[in-house]
Structure 1
Amino acid sequence: MEALDLLLTRVSVTRLTDPAPTPAQLDVMFRAALRAPDHGQLRPWRFLTVQGEARDRLGQLMAESLRVRSPEASEDALLKARKMPLRAPLLVVVIARVQPHPKVPGSEQVLAVSCAAHGLLLAAHAQGLGAVWRTGDFAYDSYLTKALGLTGDEQILGFIYVGTPEGTLRTPPVMEPQQFVTEWSGAR
C-alpha cells in the first residue's frame, strides 16, 4: 500500500473477526508505533496485548470494575462489560507512562503515546487488518488500571481492538482541508 493511500483511506473498523494478527504482523505494528515523535527520547509508552482466553479475564475485570464504580449496575450492563473484549481477537491496551522531566511536560508525553497508537493503527491498516481505538469509562477506571498492573505514573489512553475486517471497509468521508486551515498573517 502506498503511504499516501494508507493515510487517506484508514478508517476505524468496528466489526472484527478472526484471525488475529500474526506475530509478524504484530511486530510490524509495534515497530511502527515506536517511530512516534518522542521529545527527549523518553519512550513514554507501554502496551499490553490481550488475546485468547485473556480476553475473558479482561471482561471479568471490566464487569468487576463496573460493579465497584456503579453498585446498582444491571445484569445486562455487567454482561455487556464482560463481552467488550470479545469484540476482536486482539486488544492492545495503550499506556502512557508519564515521567518527570525538566523540558518535556507530561502533556507532551501523552501526545507522543497517542502518536504511537496512531502508528499502530496505520500499520494494522497497511497490512490489511482492521482496528479501532476505543476509550470509554474503562480507560479511566482506577480499579481496572490497578488490576492491569499499571503504576501510579501510568494511565490508559485506550484499547485498540484489532482483527480481520468483517465485510467491506467503509469509505472515509471526503473532508476539505480549507474548512480546518487558516493562514495567520502575523497581525494582531
Structure 2
Amino acid sequence: MDATVSPELSDFASALIHSRHNVSPRRLDAPGPTPAQLQTILGAAAAAPDHGQLTPWRFVIVPYARRWLLADAFGLALMDRDPNATGEQIDNAREKAHRAPFLMLAVARLNDPHALADTPPRSHEPAEAEVGDAERLVSLGCAIQNILLTAHALGLGTGLTSGQAMASPRLRSLFGLGPGEQAICCINIGSVTRRKTPRLRPHTADYISSL
C-alpha cells in the first residue's frame, strides 16, 4: 500500500473505531458472517502487533451444531463452583452458549516456565520466554480488536463475553488447552436486532498525562 494515508481513509478509520460498540449476544441474531466475510474477519487478526512473531494466541470456532458441548461445560462449571446452584441458574449458564449465530473462544498462549526455561534465542529474534505474558495479552487484545472492527465494517454486531467459566477445568478439557494456554473470552458475531444507547466514552484528559 502507498505509505501516504488519504484523508478519506483516515476519516473512515476514525468513524469505524468510534462507532463500534459492544453488543450483547442476546441482541445478535442470524444471519452471522458469510464464509467469505468470516475469512476477512479472521484474517484481520494476523495484522496484530506480535513481538518475535510468536502468534501468542489462537481462536477456536464453536459451530452451532456443537454448541451443546459448550453448554454442558458452562453448566458443569457452574455446578463445580456452586453445588447449590438452582436448575434455573444452570439453565441460564447453558443458554449462554446458544445466543449468537457465530461464537469462538479466544485463547492466549502464555509462557510455560517449565517448557521454556532452557529455550535458546532464535538468531536475531527474542526467545519466547523473553516475550512476557503482558505483551502476549496485548497482542491478543489487538487481534481481537482487529476482528471486532472488521466485523463492524461489514455491518455485523460483535460482543465479548467472559466470566468464571473461562478458568474452569471443564472448559480447558473441552478446548484442549495446553500448558500456558488460557481461555480469555468468547467473541460473538451476528446481525444486530436492537441497538442500545451507546455508552459515554472517556475524555482524553481522563487517561492521558505527561511524564
- Please state if 1:23 is matched with 2:35: yes
Structure 2 equivalent of residue 128 of structure 1: 155
Distance in 2 (alpha carbons) for counterparts of 1:145 and 1:79: 21
In structure 2, runs of 5+ residues without a counterpart are: 1-8, 117-127
Q: CA deviation at 1:62?
A: 1.1
Partners of 1:120 and 1:169 in 2: how far apart? 21
| Match among 143, 146, 153 for residue 173 of structure 2 | 146
Among 59, 67, 72, the alignment partner of 1:47 is: 59
Q: Name the residue aligned to 1:6.
A: 16
Match of 1:78 in 2: 90
* RMSD (CA atoms): 1.7
Report the count of equivalent residues.
184
Q: How many angstroms apart in 1 are the aligned matches of 2:210 and 2:107?
A: 35
TM norm structure 2: 0.81
- Which deviations, in whole Å up to 9, do the C-alpha atoms of 1:84-141 show, x marking residues without a partner? 0112111110001124424211221122112111111111111111111111111121
Gaps of 5+ in 1: none
Report the alpha carbon displacement of residue 168 of structure 1 after superposing the two structures with TM. 3.4
Contact map agreement 1:62 1:81 (CA 8 A) in 2? yes
Q: Which moved more, 1:155-164 or 1:51-60?
A: 51-60
Secondary structure of the residue aligned to 1:40 is coil
1:103 aligns with 2:115: no
Any idea what SS the aligned residue of 1:143 has?
Answer: helix
2-structure distance, mates of 1:158, 1:113? 11
Distance 1:174 1:41 in 2: 33
Q: CA deviation at 1:146?
A: 1.5
Moved more, 28-37 or 53-62: 53-62
Q: By how many angstroms is 1:57 displaced?
A: 2.2
- What displacement does 1:173 show? 2.2
CA contact (8 A) 2:58 2:106 kept: yes
Equivalent of residue 204 in structure 2, options 151, 163, 177: 177
Whether contact under 8 Å (1:11, 1:170) holds in the other structure is: no
> Which amino acid is the alignment partner of residue 176 of structure 2?
G
Given that residues 17 and 166 in structure 1 are in contact (C-alpha distance below 8 angstroms), is that contact kept between their aligned partners in structure 2?
A: yes
Residues 10 and 172 in structure 1, CA contact (< 8 A), matched pair in contact too:
no
8 Å contact from structure 1 (residues 129, 165) kept in 2: yes
Structure 1 residue 68: deviation in Å? 2.3
Structure 2 residue identity aligned to 1:168: R
What CA distance in whole angstroms lies between the structure 2 residues aligned with 1:159 and 1:30? 14
Q: Following the alignment from structure 1 to structure 2, what is the Cα–Cα distance between the partners of residues 137 and 172?
A: 25
Give 1:169 shift. 5.5
Q: What is the TM-score of this pair, normalised by structure 1?
A: 0.90
Letter in 1 for 2:160: W
The answer on whether the counterparts of 1:114 and 1:157 sit within 8 Å (CA) in structure 2 is no
Amino acid at match of 1:55: R
